Amino acid sequence: MSEKLVTINTVNLNNHCPECFSKEGLQITFRQRFVETALYKSITKDVSTEMYCSVCNTKIYPSQWTDDIERVYDYQMKAFQPKKASKKYKGLFWIILIVIVAIIASVIGITFYKL
In this prediction, residue 115 carries a pLDDT of 62
pLDDT average, residue stretch 99-115: 86
Closest by CA to 47, choosing from 90, 5, 10, 104, is 5
Q: Residue 3 pLDDT > 80, yes or no?
A: yes
* Percentage, residues of the chain above pLDDT 70: 99
Q: Residue 23 pLDDT > 90, yes or no?
A: no
The per-residue pLDDT for range 49-65, each reduced to its tens digit, is 999 999 899 999 999 88
Q: Residue 42 pLDDT > 80, yes or no?
A: yes
DSSP character string of 28-39? EEEEEEEEE-SS
Closest by CA to 30, choosing from 54, 51, 8, is 8
Mean pLDDT score of the chain, rounded to an integer? Answer: 90
| CA angle (76 as vertex; 10, 15 as ends), nearest 5 | 80
